[in-house]
């Protein structure tokens, strides 16, 4: 057998030490290049997709509304006060996580429904589905304006049909104005009253060693009680009961009038039963018919022309109708350049620019200053839908409103909620409009001071330090405040409250002692506020706009400018480098119980970031006042 050659000794080369820095840098650059390429490709893809969508929505606008069609209002959406302003991050989120809740804003909804009344292409109005309220959207004051638009549509003689299965109170309040209300045979209508329930953390904070100290002015200013008590105080129970009763009476009165039923009997039935099957609701006159959805579709086919492509009646969705017809008061036809600016203060009032769904003081102040200097702007309408927030932030906004009022009229339109700091920024306007169910007032101030000393100590964490003066660390969270420190903060709270009263007294031309009498942090409905002089007139956003145009002598040729303005994808993209609201995606389902819980928790947690007043003093309602 042939033997293998003997192994020869090898010359071993000393290995070169790797350059870890260079290899790490090259690896990072490679990864960055790959990710950058993918991101760029994704961006190009999104641009193409949205550009194609935008191109697809163009063309002859009148051709996109078929003749002899039904305007379909799909209520599976959120109706906001302000136009939805979406940055590029919102479009990216939808691309990754899926579509968000469909959203339309109040003025475009109202304008479209009223416009359809005189549109020869529209034969009827059909409402179905169930509202998906988010943040401050789809409030009762907003829905009342939509109801009024539906009543305007009815005056044209065209029918309004509504179909529902298990309507919420908001759904039925809106649908009850229809000529024909139809319910699924397995549906249930609840008219069981209003309730408000809050969470109280007093015992939990005590159990876990979280210290809470508060300052407050106003007998009814109860916002701090959720942190210090385990139940409602009697003054808070008194004001909330009065508030809910007044709102409930207003809702039942409007429903009874629309349905032409006896109000005392409706109240009695509500107290006695509260929930009604479809057949019981029909017997009481609360609905007109009991039928399945397919039967309603067949009936609609007798009203409108038949569409062979759809194999159903000719129809146009409300969002498509808005896209096709546009918003009349923004189009500028025959306008001489005169504008009525509608500025939205929606959400918590906070220092700085603010997050989405917040009224940032610096942003609103800057916008008001700009409008004050623009000659084409004849008047400003401030739409307030806010529970208030930072006292300092509210004062910054109020100051700009007062200065604007000196050069051009400022009219306030209160949405579903315009209380505490929301009333603070409204008080100096030339005229204040509110709906009967608007929640307003709450003229009071409170301070909230946490400390985590006990909680930290129980986990072995202690605090120590030095200071140059007795009050240098007054805002520390490592200990409770001394009586002297607490007195200083209470003094500042009293000062803010006195300023609040003074501004209301001056703005409303009301004796100071009367303001103090109706203040005390008490919450009022819009109707109650009218009776005591906190608002001037019952009416909606359109009423405020037309009044502003009238007192500004704007004539008939004016247009609306809305701030903040809605941005489309290309505008959001342009903003990224220095949304129209896309066709609303389809999310037609109620939130699950788990979804409702997580949504409520998210809302509570998001409200925490609104607490950014430099001195911890707030003119704000409790965290939530849900019905």
528 phi, psi to nearest 5 deg: -65, -40
Nearest-angstrom CA–CA distance, 243 and 438: 10
User: What residues act catalytically?
Assistant: 221, 420
Which run of H or of E encompasses 329? Answer: helix 328-331
Strand residues in 218-272 grouped as ranges (E): none
Phi-psi bin for 590: left (phi > 0), alpha (psi -120 to 50), beta?
beta
Phi-psi bin for 606: left (phi > 0), alpha (psi -120 to 50), beta?
alpha
Structure tokens at 162: 């509504």
Nearest to 349 by CA among 619, 626, 562: 619
Residue 208 has a CB neighbour count (10 Å cut-off) of 12
Q: Is-contact 189 426, C-beta < 8 A?
A: no
Q: Is 545 exposed, middle or buried (0-12, 13-18, 19+ CB in 10 A)?
A: buried
Q: Is 624 exposed, middle or buried (0-12, 13-18, 19+ CB in 10 A)?
A: middle
Nearest to 180 by CA among 166, 160, 152, 153: 160
Nearest-angstrom CA–CA distance, 555 and 281: 48
Phi-psi bin for 460: left (phi > 0), alpha (psi -120 to 50), beta?
left
Q: Is-contact 618 446, C-beta < 8 A?
A: yes
Q: Is-contact 561 341, C-beta < 8 A?
A: yes
Q: Is-contact 351 580, C-beta < 8 A?
A: no
412 phi, psi to nearest 5 deg: -105, 135
Report the alpha-carbon angle 355-360-361, nearest 5: 165
């Amino acid at each position: 057998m042939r033997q293998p050659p003997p192994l020869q000794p090898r010359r071993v080369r000393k290995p070169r030490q790797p350059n870890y820095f260079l290899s790490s840098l090259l690896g990072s650059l490679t990864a960055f290049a790959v990710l950058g390429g993918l991101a760029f490709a994704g961006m190009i893809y999104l641009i193409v997709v949205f550009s194609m969508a935008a191109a697809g929505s163009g063309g002859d606008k009148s051709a996109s509304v078929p003749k002899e069609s039904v305007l379909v209002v799909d209520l599976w959406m959120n109706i906001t006060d302000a136009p939805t302003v979406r940055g590029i991050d919102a479009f990216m989120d939808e691309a990754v996580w899926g579509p968000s809740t469909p959203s339309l804003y109040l003025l475009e909804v109202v304008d479209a429904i009223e416009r359809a009344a005189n549109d020869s292409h529209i034969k009827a109005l059909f409402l179905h589905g169930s509202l998906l309220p988010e943040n401050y959207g789809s409030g009762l004051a907003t829905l009342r304006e939509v109801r009024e638009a539906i009543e305007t549509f009815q005056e044209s003689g065209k029918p309004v049909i509504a179909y529902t299965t298990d309507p919420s109170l908001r759904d039925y309040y809106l649908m009850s104005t229809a000529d024909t209300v139809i319910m699924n045979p397995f549906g249930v209508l609840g008219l069981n009253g209003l309730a408000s329930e809050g969470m109280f953390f007093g015992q939990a904070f005590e159990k876990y060693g979280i210290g809470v100290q508060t300052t407050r002015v106003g007998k009814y200013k109860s916002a701090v009680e959720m942190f210090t008590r385990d139940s409602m105080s009697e003054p808070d129970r008194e004001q909330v009961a009065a508030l809910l009763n007044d709102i409930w009476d207003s809702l039942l009165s409007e429903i009874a009038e629309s349905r032409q039923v006896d109000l005392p009997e409706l109240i009695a039935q509500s107290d006695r039963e509260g929930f009604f099957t479809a057949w019981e609701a029909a017997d009481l006159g609360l609905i007109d018919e009991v039928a399945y959805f397919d039967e309603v579709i067949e009936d609609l086919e007798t009203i409108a022309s038949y569409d062979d492509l759809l194999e159903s009646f000719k129809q146009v969705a409300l969002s498509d109708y808005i896209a096709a017809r546009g918003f009349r008061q923004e189009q500028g036809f025959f306008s001489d350049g005169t504008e009525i600016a509608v500025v939205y203060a929606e959400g918590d009032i906070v220092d700085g620019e603010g997050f989405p769904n917040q009224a940032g003081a610096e942003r609103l102040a800057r916008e008001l200053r700009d409008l004050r200097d623009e000659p084409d702007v004849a008047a400003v309408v401030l739409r307030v839908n806010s529970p208030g927030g930072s006292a300092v932030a509210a004062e910054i906004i109020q100051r700009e409103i007062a200065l604007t009022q000196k050069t051009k009229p400022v009219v306030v339109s209160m949405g579903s909620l315009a209380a505490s700091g929301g009333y603070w920024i409204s008080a100096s306007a030339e005229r204040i409009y509110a709906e009967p169910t608007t929640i307003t007032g709450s003229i009071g101030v409170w301070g909230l001071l946490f400390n985590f000393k006990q909680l930290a100590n129980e986990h072995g964490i202690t605090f120590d330090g030095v200071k140059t003066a007795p009050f240098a660390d007054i805002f520390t969270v490592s200990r409770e405040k001394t009586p002297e420190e607490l007195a200083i903060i209470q003094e500042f709270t009293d000062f803010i409250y006195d300023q609040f009263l003074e501004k209301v007294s001056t703005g409303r031309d009301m004796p100071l002692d009367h303001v103090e009498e109706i203040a005390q942090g008490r919450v009022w409905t819009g109707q109650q506020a009218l009776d005591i002089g906190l608002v001037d007139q019952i009416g909606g956003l359109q009423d405020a706009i037309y009044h502003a145009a009238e007192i500004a002598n704007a004539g008939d040729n004016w247009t609306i400018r809305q701030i903040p303005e809605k941005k489309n994808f290309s505008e959001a993209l342009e903003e990224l480098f220095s949304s129209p609201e896309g066709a609303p995606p389809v999310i037609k389902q109620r939130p699950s119980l788990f979804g409702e819980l997580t949504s409520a928790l998210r809302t509570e947690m998001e409200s925490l970031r609104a607490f950014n007043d430099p001195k911890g003093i707030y003119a704000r309602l409790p965290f939530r006042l849900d019905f």
